[in-house]
Amino acid sequence: MIVALTEIFLIAFFLNLLYELLHSPLYETCLKMPLKKYVPLIIRASFYDAVWIVVIYSITYLSFGNKNIFNDYLRIGLFSIISTLFAYSWELYSIKNKRWEYSPKMPLIFGAGLTPTFQIFLTGLVSLYAFFLVK
């Protein structure tokens, strides 16, 4: 299981790295940040996104006892709900505590950024799909 979680982590890390690079212009913080600080920030964010994907996947796995969450909609639903609620809560916390600031282009949903609210859910499902596709 450790090997599988490591592979999922690596897929999720690189997918989130691409995602972070593409949607970082929606953050005022990233637009104003020098490259020397921007690169470590994006790498760190991608790392933590991948960690959370593995953690949420593990919760789903432990809840159902089956590796492949695509075996039924309930597993996908659990992963989706946990990842979206976590990301939404994290966004609200981070904005409130001035960890980052949105640019005017960021679409909002209930006070949080739309793209980051669904990021872990979307990149998580794509990462898991890619993992199970090659297995």
Its pTM surpasses 0.85 = yes
Phi, psi for residue 27 in degrees, rounded to 5: -115, 125
**Nearest-angstrom CA–CA distance, 126 and 83:** 13
Q: Give pLDDT, residue 33.
A: 85
Q: Give pLDDT, residue 128.
A: 95
Where along the chain do its domains lie?
2-134
In three-state form (DSSP H/G/I as H, E/B as E, the rest C), the secondary structure along the chain is CHHHHHHHHHHHHHHHHHHHHHHHHHEHHHHHCCHHHHHHHHHHHHHHHHHHHHHHHHHHHHHHCCCCHHHCHHHHHHHHHHHHHHHHHHHHHHHHCCCCCECCCCCEECCEEHHHHHHHHHHHHHHHHHHHHHC
Q: Give pLDDT, residue 13.
A: 98
Query: At a CB cut-off of 8 Å and minimum separation 6, what does 14 contact?
Result: 46
- Residues (pLDDT < 70) of the chain are none
Q: Give pLDDT, residue 66.
A: 77
